[in-house]
Structure 1
Amino acid sequence: MSVGKRITYRDAGVDINRGNRFVELIKPLVRSTYNKRVLGKFGGFAGLYVFPTDRYSRNPVLVASTDGVGTKLKIAFMMRKLDTIGIDLVAMNVNDIVTCGAEPLFFLDYFATSKLKPEEDVEIVKGIAEGCRKAGCVLLGGETAEMPGFYSKGEFEIAGFVCGVVEKEEIIDGSKVKVGDTVIGIASSGLHSNGYSLARKVLFEKLKLDIHDVPSPLNRTLGEELLEPTRIYVKSILALKKEVNLKAIAHITGGGLLENIPRVIPENCSVLLDSSLWEIPPIVKLIKIGGRIDRNELFRTFNCGIGMVVIVSESDTERALKKLGRLREKARVIGEVRRRKKGEDKITVI
């Protein structure tokens, strides 16, 4: 057997120097999210974070979540625009834990690709760092994996993990929701990060649209519309929580309004939503008409213009709406809680 040429890790497709270059590029972005609770130096084996006992000293409960951005990544690949997909990644995680009333403390990310391109891929982390700042949490660490031949050329995968905290007595779990309570919808910024497989099927396969087209009724390119970052509601929800008794919060993600609201209300309650009370976004209308999407399918796939739902007592409704307005959130009453009859669905949209 001939030994021949020496083989290196780089020959196999993994370039450690390229990885080191990437780390140097992201270092200032990661540090831009740090606060006084971060210990240790950048690049350690683990992230160290001092628990905020000064603010959570009674019965603190840790809250965690993990998520990705689904096939919205495909749009980023098509556009070769990577600077906002990281915002989506953070949003999908922090918006989930704030439904419990939790404040996000730190975030971790996982980025895997067949071949690192440091000067391009740094844009992903730029978005993650921006998302963390918007949510008020630290980007404490992450993993970058160069995996030759595992992903198609120019494609990658990202995932995120968040840890937050809430006092046990302040956990919002929907158990106090009762008949007569008000359902308030907070506007989304677009499709957010759900329903993209159906959206791509309709827009690109059926309607044969191009990512750079500006189809009616949109006023910007399809790519720009589809890449609009997911709105981060953390600071608004935590500020609202200080002034209003929030009985339940639902993040309208996969499953849309029809699947997510029932998750946060008691079994003896149902919610009636009136879709005439808010505006369905143009992009959703385009997909609905173009794909001849059934109304029920539409409301269980897309957020349909509502990114977050809060349920409050009728007496707190006006105060909640005014506070959300001051926080620059577009919010309105979209429904009410009713007594659930035997065999009735937990949610109805009229």
Structure 2
Amino acid sequence: MTNPYEKAGVNVNSGYEVSKFVKQSLSKKGSSNTNIGNFGGAFEIPEGYKKPVIISSNDGVGTKLLLAVQVDKHDTVGIDCVAMCVNDILAQGAVPAYFLDYIAIGKVDGKVKEIIKGVLEGCQQGQLDLVGGETAEMPDMYPNGTYDVAGFAAGIAEKDQLMSPLNVKDGDKLIGIASSGLHSNGFSLIRKIFFKDNDFNYDSKLEEFPDDKLGDLLLTPTRIYTKEILPLLETKLIHGIAHITGGGFFENIPRMLPDNLAAKIVPSYWNVPKLFKVVQKYGKLTDSEMFGIFNMGVGMVVAVDPKEEEKILRILNQDKPGQGFTIGEVVSRKDKSVELIGGIK
């Protein structure tokens, strides 16, 4: 007997199949989670905290998803979704704890499993548990082949160890941690630059990247910074952290500063990755416009006392030389701004 719901275009068994797939995938990774399939996900706060504070974040992947649909490559956007949430939690000084995903799609098909594979990989990189999620099949809401992905994450921190703008001081050094590429912001502009204003497609190979398809370069997943940030938090030497996402340097760095301080950024201090220079070239964008939109090769920024600068750089670069580098300093100024000193080298 046909279920009336199926006549409306909804497969009533699809949710069960997705839950089964997630349980099996978690089991293969050695982390069986009995929350999957329940009405809510549970997480037990570890022992040892005196005044634990839960830090939460939710985000999506934005119009980068349109590129994934066009290329028919869906195994990286789940990583992006986890990254956008987890990196915000880390910027607050919290240890990532758990994650939930939400996938809305016109028709549940093989793309969902590919998306979830990325979510599972992101959770592994971010060192947090996947405790639940939702896959919503909405045939009239989303055209065939399209979908949206969002996530929710939570982390834990001692109340007195949370990052606060009041901890950042005049003269602090700003240290950048390398990004993996464009991450997951600015893609409405990226698609306009490459696919509307210029005669490129997803399979194009630019002269600057003769061995790579443009679509693959743009879909490089967002870097998750758990492995890099947690050792820095343990030193208790970090005064502030900024996650460089939408709004670039100009919007995100001031979020970790008190009202009486500003930031001086010197682009010549690091090698801005070639991809950003290509975006600037084809988009005909100024340095200021680039730094106001993209991460410019810097996914996270930490503020430290000048006396601790070398120590923090050693910690960051001990396993992967070159991933940590000084990008500027904090200065006294009332407008809480970000000033670029010089241009891109």
Structure 1 length-normalised TM: 0.92
Contact kept, 8 Å, 1:189 with 1:228, in 2: the verdict is yes
Q: CA deviation at 1:133?
A: 0.8
Q: CA deviation at 1:234?
A: 1.3
Contact kept, 8 Å, 2:69 with 2:146, in 1: the verdict is yes
Cα distance, 1:168–1:11 mapped onto 2, change above 3 Å: same
List per-residue Cα deviations over 1:50-92 (Å, max 9, x = no partner). 111x232x11111000000111111111111111110110000
Q: CA deviation at 1:229?
A: 0.8
Q: CA deviation at 1:297?
A: 1.6
Cross-structure match for 2:228: 236
Cross-structure match for 1:109: 101
Cross-structure match for 1:215: 206
Cα distance, 1:283–1:41 mapped onto 2, change above 3 Å: closer
Aligned equivalents of 1:208, 1:55: Cα separation in 2? 58
List per-residue Cα deviations over 1:288-341 (Å, max 9, x = no partner). 11121132221111101100000000000000000001242601111011111x
Identity of aligned residues (%): 42
Cα distance, 1:155–1:28 mapped onto 2, change above 3 Å: same
Cross-structure match for 1:42: 36
Cross-structure match for 2:90: 98
Secondary structure of the 2:280 match is helix
Decide which of 126, 131, 143 is 1:152's aligned counterpart.
143
Cross-structure match for 1:270: 262
Secondary structure of the 2:307 match is helix
Contact kept, 8 Å, 1:174 with 1:249, in 2: the verdict is no
Cross-structure match for 2:14: 18
Tell me whether 1:65 sits opposite 2:61 in the alignment. Answer: no
Secondary structure of the 1:48 match is coil
Aligned equivalents of 1:285, 1:106: Cα separation in 2? 36
Aligned equivalents of 2:259, 2:66: Cα separation in 1? 38
Q: CA deviation at 1:17?
A: 2.4
Q: CA deviation at 1:41?
A: 5.1
Aligned equivalents of 1:295, 1:47: Cα separation in 2? 45
Cross-structure match for 1:77: 69
Contact kept, 8 Å, 1:244 with 1:316, in 2: the verdict is no
Tell me whether 1:169 sits opposite 2:160 in the alignment. Answer: yes
Cα distance, 1:155–1:51 mapped onto 2, change above 3 Å: same
Q: Which moved more, 1:68-77 or 1:284-293?
A: 284-293
Q: CA deviation at 1:20?
A: 2.5
Aligned equivalents of 1:89, 1:315: Cα separation in 2? 36
Amino acid at match of 2:37: G
Aligned equivalents of 1:7, 1:193: Cα separation in 2? 39
Tell me whether 1:183 sits opposite 2:177 in the alignment. Answer: no
Aligned equivalents of 2:202, 2:2: Cα separation in 1? 45
Which consecutive unaligned segments of at least 5 residues does structure 2 have?
none
Aligned equivalents of 1:296, 1:244: Cα separation in 2? 33
Tell me whether 1:311 sits opposite 2:307 in the alignment. Answer: no
Cα distance, 1:182–1:173 mapped onto 2, change above 3 Å: same
Cα distance, 1:32–1:349 mapped onto 2, change above 3 Å: farther
Cα distance, 1:6–1:63 mapped onto 2, change above 3 Å: closer
Amino acid at match of 2:297: G
Cα distance, 1:153–1:240 mapped onto 2, change above 3 Å: same
Aligned equivalents of 2:25, 2:242: Cα separation in 1? 31
Cross-structure match for 1:332: 325
Cross-structure match for 1:9: 5
Contact kept, 8 Å, 1:255 with 1:302, in 2: the verdict is yes
List per-residue Cα deviations over 1:246-304 (Å, max 9, x = no partner). 00000000100111001111111111000011122222212211121132221111101
Amino acid at match of 1:197: S
Aligned equivalents of 1:80, 1:308: Cα separation in 2? 30
Contact kept, 8 Å, 1:33 with 1:129, in 2: the verdict is no
Secondary structure of the 2:238 match is coil
Contact kept, 8 Å, 2:19 with 2:36, in 1: the verdict is no
Aligned equivalents of 1:184, 1:239: Cα separation in 2? 15
Backbone CA RMSD of aligned residues:
1.8
Cross-structure match for 2:290: 298
Aligned equivalents of 2:88, 2:27: Cα separation in 1? 24
Q: CA deviation at 1:216?
A: 2.4
Contact kept, 8 Å, 2:100 with 2:153, in 1: the verdict is yes
Amino acid at match of 2:325: R
Secondary structure of the 1:297 match is helix
Aligned equivalents of 2:35, 2:325: Cα separation in 1? 45
Q: CA deviation at 1:32?
A: 5.4
Aligned equivalents of 1:90, 1:32: Cα separation in 2? 20
Runs of 4+ in structure 1 displaced over 6 angstroms? Answer: none
